[in-house]
Amino acid sequence: MFNVPTVVIAVLGALLLVHALHRWILPPEGEAWFLLWFAFIPARYEASELALGGPEGLGPQIWTFVSYALIHGNLLHLGVNTVWFLPFGSAVARRFGAARFLVFFAVTAAAGAALHLATHFGEIVPMVGASAAISGYMAAATRFAFQDGGPLGSWRAHETHAYHVPAAPLRVALTQFNVVMFLVVWFGLNIVLGLFGSLSMGGEDQEIAWQAHIGGFLAGLLLFPWFDPVAPSGGPSAGRSPDEPARDGAEHPG
């Protein structure tokens, strides 16, 4: 908590600035305009839903795959995401470095939006929140954190080295008890959220966009080798080739 990587602090600062602009600085009509421009709205991709009253064209269809992750419905939404982002984002930032960390944020956020689009196609309710990207960081952390000498391993000789232990190939990681239990608990919690979960925003209970969480998590789990600068166990430097073949009106909080 007292040695958070600079890039993590920078991202949290950006999330707070965006929240201040969206919820405290812009007038009510400006809030609606902001969501139309930057939230992820599945109806934007359906030709019959062009009467959203907001921007049309290819630009918003592209940038909202990532920009939605910078927006939060209220301080509770932002606070919950911050609690998860600090430990898992910090672990991945120490391993990836700032540039890869930020690209990974964008990629996993986009993956979460893609799965949300596939399961909510044509829906006009905007989705906001960084949970898909944070889920991606959680998945990435499982690839190395439980290894011997890693930050959650049975032993570690040095704090810095703990974040740079070689990652096991995914097929090996999926046989490790700690990794499997983490995955079971994580997916179980998201299934429960999908069945019963909601978050109070603007005085209303809104559905949690759990499909986006799963999209971000799967992207983080599978794409980790493309970003990892540490050579995997018995393999070439990841970041060049993978260790396996490439085979959130109302808002959905992500």
Higher pLDDT, 194 or 221: 221
Q: What is the pLDDT of residues 147-160, one digit of tens each?
A: 888 787 655 555 67
190-194, 196-200, 229-233, 242-246: least confident range: 242-246
Quote the CA–CA distance of 58 and 64 in Å, as a whole number: 10
Contact 171, 244 (CB under 8 A): yes
Residue 16, both tokens: 């707070």
Instruction: List helix spans (H) across 21-158.
Output: 28-38, 58-67, 75-96, 98-119, 131-142
Contacts of 86 (CB under 8 A, 6+ apart): 1, 4, 8, 12
Contact 131, 81 (CB under 8 A): yes
How far is it between the farthest Cα atoms of the chain?
60
For the chain, the 3-state helix, strand and coil shares in percent, each to the nearest 5, are 60, 5, 35
Q: What is the pLDDT of residues 131-188, one digit of tens each?
A: 999 999 999 999 999 888 878 765 555 567 888 899 989 999 999 999 999 999 999 8
What is the pLDDT averaged over residues 6-23? 96
pLDDT at 148: 81
Residue 241 has pLDDT above 50, yes or no: no
pLDDT at 11: 98
Q: Which residues of 234-245 are buried (b: 16+ CB within 10 A; e: fewer)?
A: eeeebeeebbee
Residue 237 has pLDDT above 50, yes or no: no
pLDDT at 240: 42
pLDDT at 204: 53
pLDDT band at 245 (very low <50, low <70, confident <90, very high): very low
pLDDT above 70 coverage of the chain, percent:
80
pLDDT at 162: 84
Quote the CA–CA distance of 141 and 135 in Å, as a whole number: 10
Contacts of 252 (CB under 8 A, 6+ apart): 116, 120, 125, 126, 127, 128, 129, 206, 207, 208, 209, 212
Contact 199, 76 (CB under 8 A): yes
Contact 212, 92 (CB under 8 A): no
What pTM did the predictor assign? 0.85
**Domain locations in the chain as residue ranges:** 6-253
Quote the CA–CA distance of 216 and 212 in Å, as a whole number: 6
Which homologous superfamily is 6-253 in?
Rhomboid-like (1.20.1540.10)
Contacts of 170 (CB under 8 A, 6+ apart): 143, 221, 222, 243, 244
| pLDDT, averaged across the chain | 84
Q: At what angle do helices 98-119 and 58-67 cross, to 10 degrees?
A: 110
In terms of phi and psi (left: phi > 0; alpha: psi -120 to 50; beta: otherwise), the region of 239 is left
pLDDT at 55: 72
pLDDT at 119: 93
What is the pLDDT averaged over residues 44-73? 80
pLDDT at 157: 52
Q: What is the pLDDT of residues 18-30, one digit of tens each?
A: 999 988 899 888 8
What is the pLDDT averaged over residues 72-85? 93
Contact 209, 248 (CB under 8 A): yes
